[in-house]
Amino acid sequence: MQLEQFNYDNKIVRNFGIATIIWGIVGMTIGLLVATQLVWPQMNFGLQFTTFGRVRPVHTNAVIFAFVGNGIFMGVYYSLQRVLKARMFSDMLSKLHFWGWQLIIVASAITLPLGLTSSHEYAEMEWPIDIAITLIWVIFGVNMFGTIIKRRERHMYVAVWFYIATFVTVAVLHIVNSIQLPVAGWKSYYIYKGVQDALVQWWYGHNAVAFFLTTPYLGMMYYFLPKMANRPVYSYKLSILHFWSLIFIYIWAGPHHLLYTALPGWVQSLGVVFSVMLIAPSWGGMINGLLTLRGAWDKVRTEPMLKFMVVALTCYGMATFEGPMLSLKQVNAIAHFTDWIVAHVHVGALGWNGFMTFGILYWLIPRIYKTELYSKKLASTHFWIGTLGILFYAIPMYWAAVVQGLMWKEFTPEGVLKYPNFLATTLEILPMHMMRALGGALYLSGVLLMTFNLVKTMQKGKLVADEPAEAPALLPVQVNERSKHRRLERKPILFMVLALIAILIGGMVEMIPTFTISKNVPTIASVQPYTALELQGRDLYVREGCVNCHTQSIRPFRSETARYGEYSKAGEYVYDTPFLWGSKRTGPDLHRIGSKYPNKWHFDHLLDPTITSPGSIMPSYPWLIEQKLDNSILKDKMKALRKLGIPYTDAAIENADQDLQKQAQAIADDLKNNQVNVLADREIIAVIAYLQRLGTDIKAAPKTTEQINANQ
């Protein structure tokens, strides 16, 4: 049999590997900054570009798309070539993919601190960057499928199945979630509103975790773990069951992020059912990985990269058990909006994604540089420091979550809230947040140690940019193939189509009725569109990232209605784009904040939160008082929103500037009557107008300052 000679492209693997390390350090350093800001508010530095609300999405996107994203491409480009026995389809596409992805990361890192955000969690980038992501993802897909088509191996190995599912699903998720109507160069509005927007966002948000942070890493697990252990995958049949059940079930589970909200109950129930079902395929994958190590446990004790892989799989098992558990309504009622969600996410990110990335780097870099790892001892030290970092991070967060959940719900024997002041809970958990920051510092220290180790390894060896390889040409189809799945593995396009169908079913079943059946989102006659000034204030609220700390969704619990007011209704959100329900309460819910406090209270609270709330960890916003409100595209905003179904009349748009000035002047005059002199054209006036509007559409008309003071 004649063998064909070709070369594997290791240079692209090296490039993505270096980017993984660099962005990992950047993303985790920002994460450490964010952790310290929740203990010491002075770490916000008093600058509008470094507040928690603006920096937190920089951290999440840097870790997900920069660190993990580059780690995915590093692993895919290395393993794909070898299981298909072919060089990547196009070196030019590989380069475009690499540099395009890095430019997207840089653009995100610049725009998000500037407040240019769409606010959708894990998808905060504005529309020009969304388009760039789409183009680069298409380039990646063309390169991957081109390689699959020119392969020299007839059957596609299990890792390739997961890579295909990742590509098609992330493409669908990104496109559907990112449909926006541009207003200006860096401003747009989602075409979805309120309840529908929330459903789309968490269909995306949950499945971004599923198909960006999970499926490609499972594919890499199926390739790299057997290679490291020099053992075959435990069960081929289990891998088939794992793959198809996982991608079909996962896509349904997004609504479990929205339990007890205004989302239709039947959608919530579907999310719960399929979330519980997820335990089976998820643990099937974990078991398949761990049992692959049968007979190789002596090697686990001596090889640091296998230690990382074992802990990664263990954390995957923990996170995929915890997710379904959190979707149970009884658990969700206590845990949601608390630090339990933070702990859950980071067990997956630090343990599953982080540790598997480190294990692959330790195994892969010496091989493409044809040398030995500089120091196994340093790698083992990294393993133990990183493991301690995860424990010091997660355990205090679970502890804090229990404290939060119980304090929020506790009543006195007289039937009143025992801790009516939300700040009491915040101050109680500060020691746990300090420990969390220590855990993050330990984890980051381990990454720095790994960087030193890998740099020394690279210096010791020499990159084999074009690694020689040989393999026979693609063999003819074996007509006597008995397994239907083995026959399917010969047909990549059919495989992709079937995977696409599997992931589309759940989303369509949940979304189509929610969008098309009006009774799923009953309207409320008293709910009206935001005024011009309130619209501007809402956009400033989005710019400052307030949704990262404050929810706008009151659940139908006695503890929440006693603390915040009437529970939230679907019809209240019909004009909200984007929705701002939030996913974590670092501060109290704001959905009924309107008319609760006088304008001066809001002014003082934004100027210096400790004036109204001594001990608050909220940053101050003095620039809102200094900066003039930009109304240059106000009418364009209102016209765009009218296209999306918000009933702004021609007169409302034409008179927007005058109406805005009139409402702003009334607030400024009220502040002046309370010894606060601020110009009516300042940003803080718009923010106050928006806050005073929240929740008032189904309540009595907002009270005057005199009425509020009289009641106090």
pLDDT tens digits, 344-370: 999 999 999 999 999 999 999 999 999
Q: How far apart are CA 257 and CA 459, in angstroms?
A: 47
Q: How far apart are CA 487 and CA 551, in angstroms?
A: 50
Output the average pLDDT for the chain.
95
Residue numbers belonging to the annotated binding site for heme b: 59, 344, 346
Sign of CA dihedral 506, 511, 517, 520: positive
Residue numbers belonging to the annotated binding site for Cu cation: 206, 256-257
Q: How far apart are CA 494 and CA 491, in angstroms?
A: 6
pLDDT in tens, 224-251: 999 999 999 999 999 999 999 999 999 9
Q: Looking at the predicted structure, is the pLDDT value of residue 662 above 70?
A: yes
Hey, which residues does 472 pair with through a beta bridge?
A: 3
Q: Looking at the predicted structure, is the pLDDT value of residue 706 above 60?
A: no
pLDDT in tens, 421-478: 999 999 999 999 999 999 999 999 999 999 999 999 999 999 999 999 999 998 776 5
Please report, as a single letter, which amino acid is at residue 539.
Answer: D
pTM: 0.95
Give the helix/strand (H/E) hosting 190: strand 187-190
* Cβ pair 278, 248 in contact under 8 A: no
pLDDT in tens, 291-302: 999 888 889 999
Q: How far apart are CA 142 and CA 139, in angstroms?
A: 5
* Cβ pair 489, 156 in contact under 8 A: yes
How far out from the chain centre does Cα 661 lie? 38
Looking at residue 480, its pLDDT comes to 62
Q: Could you tell me which of 505, 530, 550, 535 has the C-alpha nearest to residue 250? A: 505
| Percentage of residues in the chain having pLDDT higher than 90 | 92
Residue numbers belonging to the annotated binding site: 59, 206, 256-257, 344, 346
Phi-psi region at 295: left, alpha or beta (left = phi > 0; alpha = psi -120 to 50): left
Looking at residue 704, its pLDDT comes to 45
Q: Which residue has the higher pLDDT, 106 or 707?
A: 106
Q: How far apart are CA 120 and CA 206, in angstroms?
A: 12
Q: How far apart are CA 539 and CA 545, in angstroms?
A: 10
Q: How many other C-beta atoms are found inside a 10 Å radius of the C-beta of residue 611?
A: 14
Q: Looking at the predicted structure, is the pLDDT value of residue 711 above 50?
A: no
Please report, as a single letter, which amino acid is at residue 139.
Answer: I
| Mean pLDDT for the stretch of residues 171-199 | 96
What are 395's two structure tokens? 């355990």
Looking at residue 703, its pLDDT comes to 47
| Mean pLDDT for the stretch of residues 481-498 | 88
pLDDT in tens, 560-618: 999 999 999 999 999 999 999 999 999 999 999 999 999 999 999 999 999 999 999 99
Burial of 701 (0-12, 13-18, 19+ CB in 10 A): exposed
Cβ neighbors of 430 (< 8 A, separation 6 or more) are 39, 617
User: What are the start-end ranges of the H helices in 38-152?
Assistant: 52-61, 69-84, 91-111, 127-149
Q: How far apart are CA 506 and CA 576, in angstroms?
A: 25
Q: How many other C-beta atoms are found inside a 10 Å radius of the C-beta of residue 232?
A: 9
Q: How far apart are CA 620 and CA 207, in angstroms?
A: 35
What are 567's two structure tokens? 């529970």
Looking at residue 364, its pLDDT comes to 97
Looking at residue 477, its pLDDT comes to 66
pLDDT in tens, 113-140: 999 999 999 999 999 999 999 999 999 9
Hey, which residues does 188 pair with through a beta bridge?
A: 182
- What secondary structure letter does DSSP report for 417? B
| Mean pLDDT for the stretch of residues 615-630 | 97
- What secondary structure letter does DSSP report for 627? S
Q: Which residue has the higher pLDDT, 373 or 712?
A: 373
pLDDT in tens, 18-29: 999 999 999 999
pLDDT in tens, 262-281: 999 999 999 999 999 999 99
* Cβ pair 369, 462 in contact under 8 A: yes
Cβ neighbors of 482 (< 8 A, separation 6 or more) are none
End-to-end CA distance of the chain: 91
What are 514's two structure tokens? 């929610």
Per-residue three-class SS string for 655-688: CHHHHHHHHHHHHHHHHHHCCCCCCCCEHHHHHH
Q: Which residue has the tokens 């960006």?
A: 212
Looking at residue 519, its pLDDT comes to 78
Burial code of 414-445, b = ≥16 C-beta within 10 A, e = fewer?
A: eeebebeebbebbeebeebbbbbbbbbbbbbb
* Cβ pair 538, 646 in contact under 8 A: no
pLDDT in tens, 508-554: 999 999 998 877 888 899 999 999 999 999 999 999 999 999 999 99
Looking at residue 479, its pLDDT comes to 57
* Cβ pair 450, 382 in contact under 8 A: yes
Looking at residue 523, its pLDDT comes to 86
Hey, which residues does 4 pair with through a beta bridge?
A: 471
Q: Looking at the predicted structure, is the pLDDT value of residue 702 above 60?
A: no
Looking at residue 517, its pLDDT comes to 82
Looking at residue 712, its pLDDT comes to 41
User: pLDDT band for position 196 (50/70/90)?
Assistant: very high
Please report, as a single letter, which amino acid is at residue 621.
Answer: Y
Q: Please report the domains of the chain, with CATH numbers, ordered by start residue.
A: 3-472+495-511 (1.20.210.10), 532-710 (1.10.760.10)
Q: Could you tell me which of 151, 131, 132 has the C-alpha nearest to residue 4? A: 151
* Cβ pair 245, 101 in contact under 8 A: no
Q: Looking at the predicted structure, is the pLDDT value of residue 707 above 50?
A: no
Q: Cis (ω within 30 of 0) for the bond into 472?
A: no
Q: Looking at the predicted structure, is the pLDDT value of residue 708 above 90?
A: no
Looking at residue 478, its pLDDT comes to 59
